[in-house]
Structure 1
Amino acid sequence: MTLKEILHVRNVRYFLMFRSSYFARFYYPVFTLLYLDYGLTLSQFAMLNVIWAATIVLAEVPSGAFADTLGRKKLVVLSSIIMFVEIAMIAFVPTGNPSLVFAVFLVNRILSGLAMALASGADEALAYDTLKDQGKEDAWPHVLQIQIRVASAVGIFVTLIGAAMYDVDVMGSVYQLFGWTAPESTQDIMRIPVYATLIVAMVAIYAAFNMQEDKKPMPKSGDKLATTLASLKLTLNTGKWVMSTPYVLFILLYYSLFEHTSRMFLTMNSQYYRAIDIPIIYIGFIGAGVSIFKILFAGQSRRFAESLAPKNFIAIMGIATIATYYFISLGWSIYGVIPALVLIFIIMTMNIFISYHLNRKTESHNRATVLSFKGLMFNLGYGSIGVLYAYYYKLVSQRYSQEQIEQGVDFIASLSSFVYYFAFLFILISVWFHFKDRKKAIFE
């Protein structure tokens, strides 16, 4: 299919709009710094993300099952509305009371996790099944390639503007232009990227409402209890199918390992860049460079994911990821950006590979539920690594002075944990895979 033909498919078009606007958050380039400026500690930041992941774990699979029974569009719409609310909370929370700030961010993380769980799987299932109904499901890797490029193009704008919004010198010039008093610190301007994100959230709501889905017949009794029971039954049956299908099980295990480990690091990348002496304004340029990088290499990622045999692909990605985390842990000043870019390419390629192979093995009637299991396994991992990292960082930071902590020396020292964590789990899963594969070939 050509680009024009792909965009002509309504659900695919609004899927691309929903995904690119849902994650277009102006505060992402300075995510960790934003939390710290609101008055939270790095340990609180890590624990709040654990709560976020735990919320998704609890809501992920049931929401996917409800998407398959009640309707996927309803969950995507509800997700976009909740996302708007959770962003509004941190946009307007007063910062005078640290306990109140933490409580609001706690609720924000819960709502954010719920919104993520509701959308996860449902939006992708809507788009994929529309293609499948038209006999065009082989075009799905191309849709993912386009999605990466669209999201990356939006990301260029968002990261450049978002980082500029957080730079005191840049915003000082803007304030003077309007005759306002120039800000003295990032705490004076920290809400601006959040306000901008709130506006973009309305685009996600618009896209969600414009997706289409055939009306699903309610269970015979027509009541909510019957629908709930049908959803839970589908969840249990899908869980049994995942556990008894080695092809799908190992795809999900490898996906979770690669994704949750990288997400933990990338969530803290603004702190990493500051620790390797990157000025805040340049974080935006790095983010824009990452987006251009994704646009240029999305095609190569897709071809790489499609052409290599699954076992060879996973082995290459695993070894490359271990090496990448090692180079990140060295904390190179300026040049530390290079391994971070390599990690982004690895994860982008891995995500295309996973989505391509997982959708091929999944039937339409429970696609959203299976994709929710994908999110579930990721968030179980993300919650686990969040707890472990928060504890490990606390131990490491005790060995350094306050001046060294302010310089990020303790943070760089804590990054070696990513090498050991990923390598241990990758080897463990691969050994299990090897013995299973010897009995019966998994990737045939």
Structure 2
Amino acid sequence: MKLKEILEIPNVRYFLMFRCSYFARFYYPIFTLLYLDYGLSLSQFAMLNVIWAATIVISEVPSGAFADTLGRKKLVVLSSFIMFIEIAMIAFVPTGNTTLVFGVFLINRILSGLAMSLASGADEALAYDTLKEQGKESAWPQVLQVQLRIASTVGIIVTLVGAAMYDVHFMANLYQLVGLPAPENTRDLMRIPVYATLLVAVVAIYAALNMREEKTSFTSNNSRCETLSASLKLTFSAGKWVLSTPYVLFIMLYYSLFEHTSRMFLTMDSQYYRSIDIPILYFGFIGAGISVVKIILAGHSRRLAERMEPKAFIAIMGLATMVSYYWISLGWSIYGVIPALILIFIIMTMNIFVSYHLNKKTESHNRATVLSFKGLMFNLGYGFIGALYAYYYKLISQNYSTEEIERNISFLDSLSAFFYYFTLLFLLISLYFFIKNKRNKVFE
């Protein structure tokens, strides 16, 4: 299918709009720095992300089951409104009282996790089933490729503007141009990227409201108790199917490992870039460069995901990820950006690979539920590594002086843990795969 044909399908068009606006957050280029400027510590930042992941773990699969029973559109719409509220909270929270700030960010992380889990699987299932009804489900990888390219194009603008909004020298010139007093530090600027994201959240609400869903047999006639019962039954049956289907189970296990490890690192990428002496203004150019790489390589990612034999695909991606984490642990200035770019490509390709194989193996009636299990496994891993890293960083930082911590020496030294963590779990999962595959072929 051509781009024009894809965009002519309303549900697919609004799915693309929803996904692109939902993740177009101007504070992402300076995510860690933003939290630190609000008065939180690096350990608190890591723990808040553990709480975010735990919220998704608790709500992910039930929300997927409710999407398959109550209706997928309802959950996508609810997700968009909750997203608006959680961003508004940090946009307007007063600073000065660190306990209050931490409490507000705690609620923000819970709401953010809930919003993420409500949309997870439901938006994708709406778009995929629309294609399937028209006999065009084979075009799904192309839709994902288009999504990557549009999201990356939007990402170029968001990262460049977001980083510029946080650069004191750039904003000082802009303030003086319009006759305002120049900001003295990043704390004077920290709310601006959040305000911009709040405006984009309105676009996500618009896209969610315009999605359409065919009524299912569950949607209109059943009582709440019957719907709840059907949702729970669907959750358990989908979970049983995932665990008893090695093909799906191993795809999810490998996906979770790749995704949660890299996401944990990339959540802190602004702190990493600052630690290797890259100016804040350049964060936007790095983000824009990443988006350009995504646009250029999206087609290669799709072809790899569709055509490469799964075992070879996972082995190559695993080796590339190990090399990337080892390179990151060296803390090289400038050249340290390259392994971060490699990780981005690996995540992009892995997401297409997983979505392609899962949707191909899953029946329509429980697609959102099964896709929610994918999110569940990722967030279990993300919560685990977040708690582990928060404890590990707090432990090793005791061996450094305040000056060394401020110079990010302790942070750079903590990054070697990512290499050891990923390598160990990759080898353990691969050993489990080898044992299972010897009895019965997993990937046929």
Alpha carbons of structure 1 residues 219 and 191: separation in structure 2 relative to 1, 3 Å: closer
Aligned to 2:425: 425
> 1-side partners of 2:306 and 2:368: how far apart?
23
> 1-side partners of 2:402 and 2:25: how far apart?
32
> 2-side partners of 1:207 and 1:420: how far apart?
42
Letter in 2 for 1:233: K
Return 259-268 or 207-216, whichever deviates more. 207-216
Letter in 1 for 2:361: K
Aligned to 2:396: 396
Question: Please, what TM-score do these two structures have when normalized by structure 1?
Answer: 0.99
Letter in 2 for 1:50: V
Contact 2:71 2:219 in 1 (8 A): no
> 2-side partners of 1:427 and 1:262: how far apart?
17
> 2-side partners of 1:93 and 1:337: how far apart?
33
Aligned to 2:369: 369
Structure 1 residue runs of 4+, over 3 Å off? 217-221
Query: How big is the shift at 1:218?
Result: 3.6
> 2-side partners of 1:108 and 1:175: how far apart?
30
Aligned to 1:71: 71
Q: Answer yes or no: is 1:341 the counterpart of 2:371.
A: no
> 2-side partners of 1:196 and 1:332: how far apart?
33
1:296-335, aligned counterparts within 5 Å? Answer: 296-335=296-335
1:100-111, aligned counterparts within 5 Å? Answer: 100-111=100-111
State the Cα deviation string for residues 115-171 of structure 1 (Å, max 9, x = none): 000000000000011111111111111111110000000000000000000011111
RMSD of equivalent CA atoms: 0.9
Percent identical residues: 75
Letter in 2 for 1:48: L
1:66-215, aligned counterparts within 5 Å? Answer: 66-215=66-215
> 2-side partners of 1:219 and 1:182: how far apart?
56
Letter in 1 for 2:160: L
> 2-side partners of 1:309 and 1:332: how far apart?
34
Contact 1:73 1:208 in 2 (8 A): yes
Letter in 1 for 2:441: A
Aligned to 1:282: 282
> 2-side partners of 1:371 and 1:122: how far apart?
8
SS at 1:39 equivalent: coil
SS at 2:51 equivalent: helix
> 2-side partners of 1:175 and 1:41: how far apart?
29
Question: Please, what TM-score do these two structures have when normalized by structure 2?
Answer: 0.99
> 1-side partners of 2:370 and 2:92: how far apart?
37
Letter in 2 for 1:368: A
Contact 1:219 1:226 in 2 (8 A): no
Aligned to 1:52: 52
> 2-side partners of 1:352 and 1:385: how far apart?
23
Query: How big is the shift at 1:70?
Result: 0.6
Letter in 1 for 2:202: M
State the Cα deviation string for residues 250-309 of structure 1 (Å, max 9, x = none): 010000000000000000000000000000000010000000010001011111111210
Contact 2:326 2:416 in 1 (8 A): yes
Alpha carbons of structure 1 residues 134 and 332: separation in structure 2 relative to 1, 3 Å: same
State the Cα deviation string for residues 386-438 of structure 1 (Å, max 9, x = none): 00000111111111111111111111100000001000110000010111011
Query: How big is the shift at 1:177?
Result: 1.2
State the Cα deviation string for residues 337-385 of structure 1 (Å, max 9, x = none): 0111011111111111111011100000000000000000000000000
Return 303-312 or 380-389, whichever deviates more. 303-312
Contact 1:258 1:347 in 2 (8 A): yes
> 2-side partners of 1:205 and 1:219: how far apart?
22
Letter in 2 for 1:178: V
> 1-side partners of 2:273 and 2:387: how far apart?
22
Letter in 2 for 1:439: R
SS at 1:398 equivalent: helix
Query: How big is the shift at 1:216?
Result: 2.6
Alpha carbons of structure 1 residues 120 and 219: separation in structure 2 relative to 1, 3 Å: closer
- The gaps in structure 1 that reach 5 residues or longer are none
State how many pairs are aligned: 444
Aligned to 2:351: 351
Aligned to 1:33: 33
Letter in 2 for 1:225: C
Letter in 2 for 1:260: H
